[in-house]
Amino acid sequence: FRMAKTIRLLRFLRLLRLLKARGRINDLVEQIQSEASLILIGILKMLIFIVLVNHLVACVWYAIGNFDQNRQDRWIVEFKVDVKNLLYRYSTALHWSITQFTPASMEVFPQNEYERLFTVCIILSGMLIFSSFVSAITNAMNQLRNLNSWRNEQESLLRRYLRENVVTPSLTARIHNCLNKAMQQSRRRVHEDEINILQLLPLSLKFELSNEIYAPALGKHPFFTFCHSCLPSESRKIY
């Protein structure tokens, strides 16, 4: 009884560690400013989720095949997996799990009614999960493509124009370098009044945001320095 309570406590502590790690990962993601990086991280999270789901399915699939030791109509006996090492057994179960979520096949298939019923349930679930995963990956790739769609279109037209007019490679390279520098310098900053969602913030967070943005520049003036030294909490409202 004590051993069972200890195992349950260890599982609960492990779950707490996973929740804490998830919170730290979310904090790190929120600090990322690049849209492309956020989209790539979203794709990576989906891939990790699929891998974890397949890992759990593989463990259950192996447990079902190893449940009744007296039966010979089990997949681990039929395909002589039980005499192999641990890595081969796990990789075989994981391979079977992945094939249920993708249009792939392998030599392992169910041998009794329990394995067959579990396979049917996994195939039905896999159709939903795999279709949702493909849809999410497609949307993420479209978002990546749309980030620089206007720039890519303009560069394509420029290359076509230079090619049709037989412009020399040296001049083409100089034009591309000059335009890249000009586009970097002319990139317009985003202003606060363009972000409507900021109106949902409470006043305290608005004051803190304005203070962090404008204080480094305005704080150099003696008037604002004096205000901040006398009334640090109220001076944030000036910005």
CB 61 within 8 A of CB 121: no
* Residue-wise DSSP of 69-122: TT-S--HHHHTT-TTS-HHHHHHHHHHHHHHHHTT---S----SHHHHHHHHHH
**DSSP letter at 66?**
T
What does the pLDDT average to over 182-204?
74
pLDDT of residue 104: 80
Residue 126 has pLDDT above 70, yes or no: yes
Of 60 and 193, the structure prediction assigns the larger pLDDT to 60
The pTM of the full predicted model, rounded to 2 decimals, is 0.58
What confidence tens digit (pLDDT) does each residue in 145-191 have?
777 777 778 888 888 888 888 888 888 888 888 888 877 766 666 67
